[in-house]
Structure 1
Amino acid sequence: MRWGRIYFAVQAAAGAIWWFAVFTSPFVREATLGGLDPVLVACFDIPLFVVASAIAACGVRSAAAVTAGWTGCVAMALAVYATVTTEAGWGVIIMIAATVCSALALCLLVLGRVPTSELIRGPFAFRPAAVAPAAATHVARTFRQIAVFWGLFLVVIPLVVAALERRWELALPPSVLAATLGGVVLIAASALGIWAAVTMSTLGNGTPLPSAMPHRLVVAGPYLWVRNPMAVSGIVQGIGVGLLLSSWLVVIYAIAGSLLWNFAIRPHEESDLEQRFGEEFRRYTSSVRCWIPRVPRAGMVHPRADFPATEAAQSYASE
């Protein structure tokens, strides 16, 4: 709750400073409001954003709900306005960021926590994969998942983001160097993702998808170097796509995805793995880092596909 109140206090101060800049700086007014009448917008925004944020900072939950709801409405309205007119692009970016932060602060104020557990329910809940007679079945399922996820998160969404970035006149000039670097990064990260996916599906008797998790603890291939090679691959792929498109917003999108995964999804996933594999998983986490690759030590042996999780894990000495 304390951090939620602190955020709303900062937001109230930032909102007041921004409105002062709007009325004193033509550059700020044009960049964030475009051709909108600042007086008309201020009549609604100052009481519902600035004042309501200040009241929410005092712990009033209804005020926090009002300012969070208003911020979301303004972000959507500005996005439509900027897309139609090509004006106020920076206003859209600022309000989208304020919407996300206001929603998180509202959760802290009302619930005392950010409800990350709700993200892993229903079809996204952690559950073991259905037993298949051959590893090829899990490999085929894995590649179907890759086609869907990569197509959505690395093609469709980045193209939409880059198109809006250009429409809002926020795009950087195209760069051959950035595009070349992005292509190299994308290919390397994709190779890592495929290597990790095949290793998981052939040795783990499951898939990397949370709703069809492996039955064995896999400590082989890229999993000897880093605990989450699929996540590392996805994040670096997103950055590569951003460079390829010369889109700084796509790079921000990839970084935001990494933060979401690290703080909202990973703790639940690792808790599930620890419950299922116990000491074996704890030994693994003590030997292999989450994000930064480490050269495997001499005693680390690649487990065979027919090894159970217990036998595979016993071959790794913890630090």
Structure 2
Amino acid sequence: MGARPHPHSDRACSFVRRRFRVVPCLPRCRRGADGADPVRAARAYFGLQALAGAAWWVAVFAWPWVRQETLGSLDPVAVATLDIPLFVAGSAIAAFGVRWAIVLSTAWTTVVAVALAIFATLTGEAGWGVLLMAASAGASVLAACLLLFGRVPTGWMIVGPFAFRAAESVTATHRPHHVFATFRQIVVFWGLFLVVIPLVIAFLERRWMLALTFPLPVTLIGALLLVSASALGIWSAVVMSTLGDGTPLPSAMPNRLVIAGPYRFIRNPMAFAGIVQGAAVGLLLSSLLVVVYAIAGSLLWNYAIRPLEEADLEERFGPDFRRYTAEVRCWVPSIPKSLSA
């Protein structure tokens, strides 16, 4: 027979959790299909962040070049007075699931990242410190969401104008209305995500003294990729708006499932094109951060937006959409069985 738990053990654990507001482990039903425990991973992240923060402070006081590249002219003693207890110690305590430490260390990391970015933009110093703290802030927010909510909330991304709604159905004679609406969307989205934001990122990269110079062949490859991906995006948009009786915009989604044109070979040709476009713009601007921005956008779309979009499509198109997803891959172009047979 297995050992019987002590009669007071459950009450003691409950007292500790209430007293220190410790986050309990999620039940096994919430674990991933591969057995991964998101809460354990989030706690491990805070533990690693505490160790990395401590190592960084040792390096700051041991090597002047580390201090110069990450703090610039800021007084390291004054910064350490606040950062060591709030960032290093706070992250260490957060690794045990203590709620106030999770909130405190995440908030402090975010504030430091923003403040350091402003300082680096004004002075041209501490560029590497901005990158390190920005990465820490983003990862801390994700880990905090897993610990506090058991998941990363994504529903807020599909509210208001971005909520999934089918477009108003039109007759064939009025179908150009969807085409014109689609191209208006392209102008706005491409202008914002492929011009304005990359230019701002490239400017900050240079201001923070982090810019690299790419060789001419890389720039030419970027131009070729941009033209090719843009052509794919336009082709996908035309097929979607003419055959789907709708637009790619979530607030005016197609009324028919489109499996023609590029959609016969890849489920998300417009998203695929957009990611390649973003990376290509980074190559054209000689900006590694813009390339990272494109990769981050692909991860956001794949893990936050795509599941919501595909759930909506499955609800509206049912077995047809399930057969489509079984035959056509999401990201890797392939020849479907119906065409290769």
Q: TM-score when scaled to structure 2?
A: 0.86
Residues 267-302 of structure 1: CA deviation (Å, up to 9, x unaligned): 1111111111111001101110000000244548xx
Between stretches 127-136 and 32-41, larger displacement belongs to 127-136
What is the aligned partner in structure 2 of residue 274 from structure 1? 314
What residue in structure 2 maps to residue 254 of structure 1? 294
Amino acid corresponding to residue 98 of structure 2 in structure 1: V
Of 75, 79, 82, which aligns to 1:41? Answer: 79
Residue 86 (1) aligns with residue 124 (2)? yes
Partner of 2:229: 189
- SS at 2:204 equivalent: helix
Indicate the residue corresponding to 2:138 in structure 1. Answer: 100
Shift of 1:108: 0.8
Aligned partner of 2:204 among 136, 146, 164: 164
Aligned to 1:141: 181
Who is 1:29 aligned against?
67
- In structure 1, how many angstroms separate the alpha carbons of the residues matched to 2:258 and 2:176? 17
In structure 1, how many angstroms separate the alpha carbons of the residues matched to 2:316 and 2:119?
50
Tell me how far 1:5 sits from its aligned partner: 1.3
Q: Is 1:243 the equivalent of 2:283?
A: yes
Q: Which has the higher contact order (CA 8 A, sep 6+)?
A: 1
- C-alpha distance in 1, partners of 2:248/2:42? 34
Overall identity of the aligned pairs, in %: 64
Q: CA deviation at 1:117?
A: 1.8
Note if 1:130 corresponds to 2:168: yes
Matched with 1:62 is 100
Secondary structure at the aligned position of 1:129 is classed as: coil
- The residue type equivalent to 2:299 in the other structure is L
Bigger drift between 258-267 and 100-109 goes to: 100-109
Matching residue of 1:218: 258
CA distance in 2, matches of 1:180, 1:199: 29
Supply the AA of the counterpart residue of 2:290: V
Structure 2: gaps of 5 or more residues: 1-38
| Cα distance in 2 between the residues matched to 1:259 and 1:268 | 14
TM-score by length of 1: 0.92
RMSD of aligned Cα (Å): 1.2
Structure 1, gaps ≥5 residues long: 301-316
Contact map agreement 2:94 2:102 (CA 8 A) in 1: yes
Which range is displaced more, 253-262 or 61-70?
61-70
For residues 90 and 41 of structure 2, the distance between their equivalents in structure 1, rounded to whole angstroms, comes to 17
